[in-house]
Chains A and B, each alone.
Chain A
Amino acid sequence: MDAGVIWDTVVLSPMINVLIVISDYLLNSFGLTIIIFTMIIRGVMYPLTRRQLKASKGMQELQPKIAEIRKKFAKDKQRRAKEEMALMKQSGVSPAGCLLPMLIQMPVWIALYQSIIRVLAATPEEFLNLSRHLYDTWPQVFYLVPLESKFLWLDLSVPDTMMLMPILVGGSMWLQQKMMTPESADPAQQAQGRMMLWMMPLMFAFFTLQFPSGLALYWVASNIISIVMQYFISGWGGLSTLFGGRKVEDTRKPPKRYAPIEYKQTGKHAGDADIVVARPSEEEGSDDETTGDQREDRGRGYSDSYESTKRQSRRDKGRRPKRR
């Protein structure tokens, strides 16, 4: 059995049939079905999304320290990498925490995309193809297809002629990107942030001009859900600057504060130093066995290494190396 058949059987066909059946309970409105189905899928994927967002936030918070390490070990790449890894390990943050959940979610997004495209069959070829996915034992799916493609002002099977969907897709994606983009003093990072902020929304807005508006509806719904999830997990993020130019503090959790980086002289060469991350005082007493994510859930952080950090600080007292 080839991969395409397995994909169709295990992922695509179930999703298509469920999508059709859901529409039966939503007044045969495929527009509502797309929204509800997107909510369900995003709800199921929430633990992964949450993990990804938290990891991203953790990475953002480490940026000042990473920048310092880069500055410090600009000429020693090996050491720089080692120190960065040590910092991340100590902080309970890993790049894989950002990427892995995203990679796991990607097939689901693609399946959802393909399901919507399949159900919105417009050409005779697409209809015949859709018939291959329908479950013989679910009679209602045979009666319900094709689904009603009219929703609000849209014909979901064709691009939006009123051009509102490209604006909604681009706008919602911009908001989501803005929330994710951290403020940075580094001009290079600022430029990259700006590029990310504008490029993806513009690209998707452009795609919306070409694709059926049913898919655009899915993108808008998905973006809005992402914005809501992101708000509850990591606050307004980059959007806070939009509120009258004043940064809005996320008051739901105490913000983490890091003490200045301390370096322990261990070698003879210039720049050879170990980094010690000091802990916020309110994090004392945390369970040493918990993971970085779990610690963040309780509004605490990184305490597994706090005691050792304190011990380290005591041992190294008075031996802070001079910055070069």
Chain B
Amino acid sequence: MKITTEAGERHVLAITVDNEAGVLAKITGLFTARGYNIESLTVADITADHALSRITIVTSGPPPIIDQIIAQLDRLVPVHKVVDLTDAGEAHVEREIALVKVAGTGDKRIEALRMADVFRAKVVDTTLTSFIFEITGTSDKVDRFIALMRECGLVEVGRTGVVAIARGPEAL
């Protein structure tokens, strides 16, 4: 017998929750307990009184599973709102930051700097033999930049994961 899994589509979910101990564990635990995917997850407190946090989850699954994920999140007591930005009427903006460390000297070092310029990555630290670049963009753009840096002495990458927000004047 073979165990098969269904192919899915990528969805970006924005979730507002009470900013309390255990809420993140509750949400990530829901994903593991029910076998859903997390491709990236970001969380930070977003209100002046520190009452609410916003979580952005990039997940993937067939449409009925995405619908279930939203329904399951929505019924958790500390969850205020769940919005599927991928499905929402208006398009949304997604951004991710990566810090990319490249080590090397000579031509490779020059090439790295040239490509960083093309990608509008900033140099945030340098030594005689290394750079740290800060790049902001969609996950695709960050992926492509990192792939190029592999050829130019990439030694370390840190990524924030995706934050996203819907276009237009309305709030979540």
Chain A bound to chain B: no
Residues of A within 8 A of B (CB): none
Residues of B within 8 A of A (CB): none
